[in-house]
Amino acid sequence: MDEKNNNLKGFNNFSKFLAIYLLVAVFMFYLYQYFTKVQVNNIPYSTFKELIKEGKVKSCTISDKYIKGVYIDKNGKKMHFITVAVNDPDLIKDLEAHNVKFSGKVTNTWLTNLIFGWILPFGFLFFIWWLMTKKMRGTSGGLFGFGKGRFKVYLNEKPDVKFSDVAGAEEAKQEIQEIVEYLKDPQKYQRLGGRAPKGVLLVGVPGVGKTLFAKATAGEAGVPFISISGSEFIEMFVGVGASRVRDLFNEAKKLSPCIVFIDEIDAIGKSRAFNSLTSNDEREQTLNQLLAEMDGFDSSKGVIIMAATNRPEILDPALLRPGRFDRQIIVDKPDVNGREAIFKVHMKKIKVGSDVDVKKLAQMTPGLVGADIANIVNEAALLAARENKDAVYMEHFEEAIERQIAGLKKKNRVIKEDEKKRVAYHESGHAICAYMLPGADPVHKISIIPRGLAALGYTQQLPMDDRYLLTKEEMIDRVITLLGGRAAEEIIFGSVSTGAQNDLSRATDIVRSIITQFGMDEKLGLMVAEEREGGRFLTSEGILTKGDRLSEKTKEIIDEEIVKILDECYAKAKEILINNKEKLLRLAELLLKKEVVDSEELKKVMEDNSGD
Ligand code: ADP
Ligand code: ZN
């Protein structure tokens, strides 16, 4: 839309330029003719020779057709003459004898005048003009527009993307529903006493559809969508970033209710802590302006700021405070079902052959995101077109998937099959231990979607209720659950991997606190050997203190006890898994097939005793 308008404008400018140029050229040509017009006498060659002999010819120019020159007439007046050249070998001798200045010609006519005098210089000017506007066309408004916004504004033409165009992401759609309601009628929402939302942070890796989702939110609410990328704020000139933020918000207020979408917000919102070496004033000014604008505008105006990032942990905490981006929606990589749905959305735009099995395609593309799938469908359609097929068939999709995955492999974004298997058993180990142990929190979801938000896989446990007190048994059950992943790897593969590192440090942490903080160890007794400051309960945050006041002997006992309890817990985890090996195998298979397993499905696997 934008682009087309600009090209059109460029074309109009061009014809205007051409018309003006032609007018000026014609005018200048006649002007030139008028001023250079002189009386020229056409004289016979014989007269010319006589004039030479009389010494009347002052100068002449000889070409192979004409001889032009100046002579003095009877009245002593200077006159221009022209005569037809004849083959006259004596001419030069005569001219020299009578001291006539002469030169060879140079057929200097109006044509060469025109070319060298007018067309070339103007052509040059035109070339420069073309270069300039080309640059302008490229950056839509760029050259003369910096400082002024460069946002794609979908004025009145509101985005026609709907939630149905965003496949999967059902949880995210539900979470954003409130925002949609609000944007449909901000005043009504507030009359009913709702607190106006302001900022929504979409978290997810590139290509999962964050931009699409934000656009669909605007589409559902029927409001305009303004978007800009965080890196665009600060790319050009110093001092421009802050003024761009101001422009952006002024624009948004005019269009409200509307959605402002800031992609890659980490480009401006990076925490100062991550940037202490290279202090970047420009970025900081831009960030401060953004914070000021978000605080400043009246939320009843109906402007919702949505922002996207894949690194929420590096954002400046100031951005996440209440009244700013206080809502965070996670857009994770799609699982098998999600991928199937995304394939279907994009297949609507092409003619699909009868042999295409969408389920199979989804199974063939673990770890890929919506953008990858959109690419695959497009590529498959191109392949089919190249072969002049009447529709896009399975073979085309398969080839397109191969190409896409080969491209991603180079970028190291594809997980290997045996890695995936190991992760499936590891996570199943956690889940089964948690299921079997009364003290562990129940499992909510197990996921092995590769390179999603977590590096490999994760087992999500929900606490039964808010707990302030934990018994020693409950803490031990948690440790066993944490060690279950490594235990499963050892049972199935006979070896362990580095994937359990985080589990181990969390387990060690809990055991250490059992011994040193809660007085639950028989050997050490009630003495509080260490205290934790700042960190939350049972996390690895916070600082251990008092440690340096312990005697060497106590320290030795602590280390011994930690090792002993961890060993006992690990043995217990292995025992649980060996006793439930059949279930472990089945759960891992299910995970490999579905990538995400919820609590219901886990229960089904665990209560099915047919295989044991
Ligand atoms: P992000 O902003 O997270 O990097 P985009 O929104 O730019 O990702 O996604 C790029 C493209 O990928 C979209 O335009 C769309 O064609 C496709 N896509 C991504 N996720 C989905 C999805 N859930 N459903 C349908 N298409 C999707
Ligand atoms: Zn683990």
pLDDT tens, residue by residue, 442-490: 888 888 876 554 456 677 776 554 455 678 888 899 999 999 999 999 9
| Paired tokens of 127 | 């070339």
The predicted structure's pLDDT at residue 145: 39
Q: Cα of 448 to ligand 1 centre, how many Å? A: 21
Q: Cα of 157 to ligand 2 centre, how many Å? A: 49
| 338 CA: nearest ligand 1 atom | 23
User: By alpha-carbon position, which residue is closest to atom 6 of ligand 1?
Assistant: 209
In whole angstroms, give the CA distance from residue 356 to residue 581: 37
The predicted structure's pLDDT at residue 132: 66
Q: What does CATH list as the number for 152-330?
A: 3.40.50.300
The predicted structure's pLDDT at residue 2: 39
The predicted structure's pLDDT at residue 609: 77
User: By alpha-carbon position, which residue is closest to atom 11 of ligand 1?
Assistant: 371
- Tell me how long the chain is: 612
Q: Cα of 203 to ligand 1 centre, how many Å? A: 13
**Greatest mean pLDDT range, 79-93, 98-112, 267-281:** 79-93
Neighbours of 536 (CB within 10 A): 9
Return the bridge partners of 40, or none. Answer: 80
Q: Which is more confident, 384 or 245?
A: 384
Q: Cα of 386 to ligand 2 centre, how many Å? A: 47
Instruction: Answer whether residue 161 shows pLDDT above 80.
Output: yes
The predicted structure's pLDDT at residue 366: 81
In this structure, the residues whose C-beta lies within 6 A of any atom of ligand 1 are 166-169, 204, 206-212, 308, 342, 345, 370-371, 374
Q: Which CATH architecture has domain 40-105?
A: 2-Layer Sandwich (3.30)
Question: Which of 163, 173, 208 to mutate for ligand 1's pocket (most ligand atoms within 8 Å of CB)?
Answer: 208
In whole angstroms, give the CA distance from residue 106 to residue 265: 68
In whole angstroms, give the CA distance from residue 256 to residue 249: 10
Ligand nearest, relative to CA of residue 377: 1
Instruction: Answer whether residue 76 shows pLDDT above 60.
Output: yes
Return the bridge partners of 83, or none. Answer: 67
Q: Which residue type, as a one-letter code, is found at position 301?
A: K
For residue range 403-441, list pLDDT tens digits in order. Answer: 887 777 666 556 677 888 899 999 999 999 999 998 888
CA of residue 396 relative to chain centroid, distance: 28
| 212 CA: nearest ligand 1 atom | 6
Q: Cα of 482 to ligand 2 centre, how many Å? A: 6
This prediction's pTM: 0.57
Which range has the worst mean pLDDT, 237-246, 280-289, 347-356, 378-387?
Answer: 237-246
In whole angstroms, give the CA distance from residue 101 to residue 71: 11
Neighbours of 182 (CB within 10 A): 21
Position 32 confidence tier, pLDDT thresholds 50, 70, 90: confident
Can you tell me the mean pLDDT for 588-604?
90
Ligand nearest, relative to CA of residue 164: 1
The predicted structure's pLDDT at residue 447: 82
**DSSP single-letter state for residue 303:** E
CA-to-CA separations, 35 to 29, 129, 318, 366, in angstroms, rounded? 10, 31, 75, 81
Q: Which is more confident, 550 or 138?
A: 550
User: By alpha-carbon position, which residue is closest to atom 21 of ligand 1?
Assistant: 370
**Nearest one of 110, 98, 111, 63 to 84, comparing CA atoms:** 63
Q: Cα of 598 to ligand 1 centre, how many Å? A: 25
End-to-end CA distance of the chain: 64
How many helices (DSSP H) and strands (DSSP E) are in the chain? 23, 16
CA of residue 50 relative to chain centroid, distance: 87
For residue range 481-509, list pLDDT tens digits in order. Answer: 999 999 999 999 998 887 777 788 889 88
User: By alpha-carbon position, which residue is closest to atom 14 of ligand 1?
Assistant: 212
Instruction: Answer whether residue 541 shows pLDDT above 70.
Output: no
Which range has the worst mean pLDDT, 129-143, 262-276, 332-346?
Answer: 129-143
- Phi first, then psi, for residue 309 (nearest 5°) are -155, 155
Query: Which among 220, 232, 427, 490 is annotated as catalytic?
Result: 427
Identify the sign of the CA torsion 85, 86, 87, 89: negative
The predicted structure's pLDDT at residue 483: 94
Q: What strand order describes the sheet that includes 101-104?
A: 40-42, 78-84, 66-72, 57-62, 101-104
Mean pLDDT taken over the chain: 79
Long-range contacts of 406-413 (CB under 8 A, 24+ apart): 408/368, 408/372, 413/367, 413/451
Q: Are 163 and 173 in contact (CB under 8 A)?
A: yes
The predicted structure's pLDDT at residue 429: 95
The predicted structure's pLDDT at residue 73: 81
The predicted structure's pLDDT at residue 436: 94
| Paired tokens of 114 | 């025109």
Instruction: Answer whether residue 274 shows pLDDT above 60.
Output: no
Position 273 confidence tier, pLDDT thresholds 50, 70, 90: low
Can you tell me the mean pLDDT for 1-16?
48
427 catalytic? Reply is yes
Q: Does domain 347-406 have CATH number 1.10.8.60?
A: yes
Ligand nearest, relative to CA of residue 427: 2
Question: Which of 212, 265, 337 to mutate for ligand 1's pocket (most ligand atoms within 8 Å of CB)?
Answer: 212
CA of residue 242 relative to chain centroid, distance: 21
554-569 residues labelled b (16+ CB within 10 A) or e (exposed): beebbeebbeebbeeb
The predicted structure's pLDDT at residue 455: 53
For residue range 557-581, list pLDDT tens digits in order. Answer: 888 999 999 999 999 999 999 999 9
Of all residues in the chain, what percent carry a pLDDT higher than 70?
A: 80
CATH class of 417-607: mainly alpha
Q: Which is more confident, 36 or 170?
A: 170
CA atoms within 13 A on the CB side of 110: 10
Q: Are 325 and 307 in contact (CB under 8 A)?
A: yes
The predicted structure's pLDDT at residue 348: 92
Q: Which residue type, as a one-letter code, is found at position 445?
A: K
Of all residues in the chain, what percent carry a pLDDT higher than 90?
A: 22
| 169 CA: nearest ligand 1 atom | 23
In whole angstroms, give the CA distance from residue 538 to residue 477: 13
In whole angstroms, give the CA distance from residue 455 to residue 300: 40
Which range has the worst mean pLDDT, 331-335, 389-393, 420-424, 599-603?
Answer: 331-335
The predicted structure's pLDDT at residue 462: 61
CA atoms within 13 A on the CB side of 192: 9
Q: What strand order describes the sheet that includes 443-447?
A: 458-461, 443-447, 596-598
Can you tell me the mean pLDDT for 184-197?
76
Can you tell me the mean pLDDT for 62-68?
80
**Nearest one of 444, 503, 441, 449 to 475, comparing CA atoms:** 441
Domain ranges of the chain: 40-105, 152-330, 347-406, 417-607
Ligand nearest, relative to CA of residue 347: 1
